[in-house]
Structure 1
Amino acid sequence: MKSIRVLQHLKQYERGIDTTKRAIPTTTGFLRPDRPFSGRLITFNDGKFDYENSLSYEEAGDRTDVAWIRPFLSTGTRQPVPRTKGSVRGHDYDVRLNRALGFESAGEMKFGALLKADRNVVNIEDQPKSVRFWRPSALTPTEHTIDYRATFANGLRVGFPVKHTMDDEFPIVLKDVEYMRVQCSDFADDFVVVTEREVTPEIVDNAEAIAFAFAARNERDCRQVLEFMQRTEGPVDMFQIVESFDDPQCAWVALLNLIYDGLVEHLDPSQTFEDAPFVSLIAN
């Protein structure tokens, strides 16, 4: 952990920021999300909950027809078993769906972050119902539970098995995906095997930051940062942007939300925001 802090300090120093010269804060700063960080505020009318519309704190106000609804359980047909030695298992949370997402490996957890950070993904199903397909010369069908099925804004549904290339089952999964594409169109429009080659540490780091920022979103901050970007020409350093505001952390969250919205472009998405911090406004 100490080495990470030292590396962060060196990177900040290269950008002209020396945190050791700053005065020790005398107050605590807080993010200011418009909505609950988990769960939703929804209306209760005529004995029914309106799950589709999530209210902000301002919209809820002192209304008596508003209730907080806790996150829903995972819809997975197979839930992660208690963690064992050498494994990564558990549940993540997607604030957009207000639902837990189960994962049974580090690769699944990381890829889930990528799906959460993609505004084009409108639904994520972890461990959906198994698909049945026939292998050549087989006497019985094979059943396989896909790790994720994602539905995109254009209606496309894609099944994603997540496997490490060094996994003994990886070659088998590659072949099975070809059979699924031909035989299981009722389950998904396409099937794509995801490996550590696509889910790189840099991409995951950015995705996790964006997913967290979306949960802590504040629309007023987003508008202010967008107006600042509109007055700026050409690529600009993300850290220079946020340091221009009284609450840099709130500005940082807003900036990541603008990237999520597709209004601001990170110019080198293969690198982390910290290592390649230049962004630019996307012309509409």
Structure 2
Amino acid sequence: MTRIRQVIRYLSELERGFDRTLLPLPAETNFLKADGPLSGRYHTFTVDGDDEDDYAGLVDLPQVWQPTLEPTPSRWYPARTKGHSRGTITSPKTRKAITFSSTYEMNLAYMLCSSRQISLVEDQPSAVPVIQEDGTEKHTIDYRTTMVDSGNRIVVAVRPTWLLDKDGLPYTIDSINRHSLDGYADEAIILTEREITNDRGWNGKSILRALRHADIDDNDRLRNYASKFHGTVCLGSLTSIFNDKAKAENAVWCLVHDEILLPVRPDLKLIDAPFVRFKHNH
């Protein structure tokens, strides 16, 4: 954050009656403790029905450790250039790494992985045929998502608006929707910088970071307190019941992911518009 933005935020907080310079300095360092492992997960040992071994004497079935899953794109991102970003992020919900090859893709990966409505995010799924005037060629979509409730799969092509016509992406997506969806997806769409913003990506990244250190007791405490509020409430009022602000902030992001706390301005960073509503009918 730039110094100018820090000053603007400080003045905005003063207008709301909050002065962070009056907060007492911490006397000791506290660390957030996760409820479970961060890098992988344990799976209960699967018993084969035809297995001749007798497991009746076991108190419970043993668990098998599964480390973080490697990304599985159909093609790897190209080498980094001066004007692009390359890398991977890890979803704490699926314990799987997701690749990206641009800042837009990175922000979208944060947005998709942090959404409660999406159960699976696939980076660079297998290429799909696209019918052109001079024949058929293959095109690789950036991401494929699977929705939780409907199970529908949506493939997403990422491109800034000023580059849409450079390689005929609108025609490519239209061709996929008309000819190549069978067994591949239910719909193909294009997302640009209008939907994929740095603020939304920042919020998604913050949610994923909080899910890595989720504390059920803290989340329940904040949920019970927030349920007493109707309408818009400032986060400062909600988190005032916590002595440890880090735990309070972490619980806020976890409840935002669960769609229990609804940001008033989801298009802005939550820290820049710290107002939420409690979803009473969840």
The answer to whether the 8 A contact 1:128-1:148 is kept is yes
The answer to whether the 8 A contact 1:125-1:149 is kept is yes
Measured at CA, do residues 170 and 159 of structure 1 come closer, stay the same or move farther in structure 2, by a change above 3 Å? Answer: farther
CA–CA separation in structure 2 for the residues paired with 1:148 and 1:255: 28
Sequence identity of aligned pairs in percent?
A: 29
Aligned to 2:178, the other structure's residue is in SS state: helix
1:189 equivalent in alignment to 2:186: yes
1:122 equivalent in alignment to 2:116: no
Q: Which amino acid aligns with 1:144?
A: H
CA–CA separation in structure 1 for the residues paired with 2:6 and 2:199: 18
Q: Which amino acid aligns with 1:99?
A: K
Aligned Cα RMSD in Å?
2.2
The answer to whether the 8 A contact 2:227-2:280 is kept is no
Paired position in structure 2 for 1:32: 33
Measured at CA, do residues 22 and 267 of structure 1 come closer, stay the same or move farther in structure 2, by a change above 3 Å? Answer: closer
CA–CA separation in structure 1 for the residues paired with 2:15 and 2:114: 29
The answer to whether the 8 A contact 1:44-1:65 is kept is yes
CA displacement, residues 91-121 of structure 1 (integer Å, 9 cap, x when unaligned): 1111111111011111111111110111111
Q: What runs of 5+ residues in structure 2 fail to find an aligned partner?
A: 49-59
TM-score when normalising by structure 1? 0.86
Paired position in structure 2 for 1:59: none
TM-score when normalising by structure 2? 0.87
The 5 Å alignment of 1:65-104 reads 65-104=62-101
Q: CA deviation at 1:243?
A: 2.6
Aligned to 1:79, the other structure's residue is in SS state: coil
The answer to whether the 8 A contact 1:164-1:170 is kept is no
1:151 equivalent in alignment to 2:152: no
Q: CA deviation at 1:67?
A: 4.8
Paired position in structure 2 for 1:60: none
1:202 equivalent in alignment to 2:219: no
The answer to whether the 8 A contact 2:107-2:200 is kept is no
Specify which of 161, 164, 168 is matched with residue 160 of structure 2: 164
Measured at CA, do residues 12 and 182 of structure 1 come closer, stay the same or move farther in structure 2, by a change above 3 Å? Answer: same
CA–CA separation in structure 2 for the residues paired with 1:10 and 1:38: 40
Q: CA deviation at 1:146?
A: 0.3
CA–CA separation in structure 2 for the residues paired with 1:163 and 1:72: 27
Measured at CA, do residues 117 and 168 of structure 1 come closer, stay the same or move farther in structure 2, by a change above 3 Å? Answer: closer
CA displacement, residues 137-184 of structure 1 (integer Å, 9 cap, x when unaligned): 32x212100000001011111110100112265561011111100111
The answer to whether the 8 A contact 2:164-2:170 is kept is no
CA–CA separation in structure 2 for the residues paired with 1:35 and 1:25: 27
CA displacement, residues 221-241 of structure 1 (integer Å, 9 cap, x when unaligned): 111000001222332101221
Q: Which amino acid aligns with 1:159?
A: V
Aligned to 2:10, the other structure's residue is in SS state: helix
Count of residue pairs the alignment pairs up: 267
